[in-house]
Amino acid sequence: MTRPPRWLIEVVETLALTLLTFFVIQTFVAQPYQVRQTSMERTLEPDQYVLVDKLTPRFDPFKRGDIVVLHPPEGVEDETGTPFIKRIIGLPGETVRVGEDGIVYVDGKALDESGYTYRDDAGVNEPTTIDSDQSEWTLGPDEVFVMGDHREASADSRSFGPIKLESIVGRAFLRYWPAATFGIISRPAYQPPQE
Give the catalytic positions in this structure: 39, 86
Q: Alpha carbon of 2 to those of 5, 8, 10: distances in Å?
A: 9, 13, 17
Distance of CA 170 to the CA centre of its chain: 7
Pairing of strands 84-90, 67-70: antiparallel
- CB-CB contact of 172 with 48 (8 Å): no
Burial per residue of 55-87, b for 16 or more beta-carbon CB atoms within 10 angstroms, e otherwise: eebeeeebebbbbbbbbbbeeeeeeeebbbbbb
Buried b (16+ CB within 10 A) or exposed e, 109-123: eebebeebbbeeeee
Beta bridge partners of 138: 95
Tell me 109's DSSP state: E
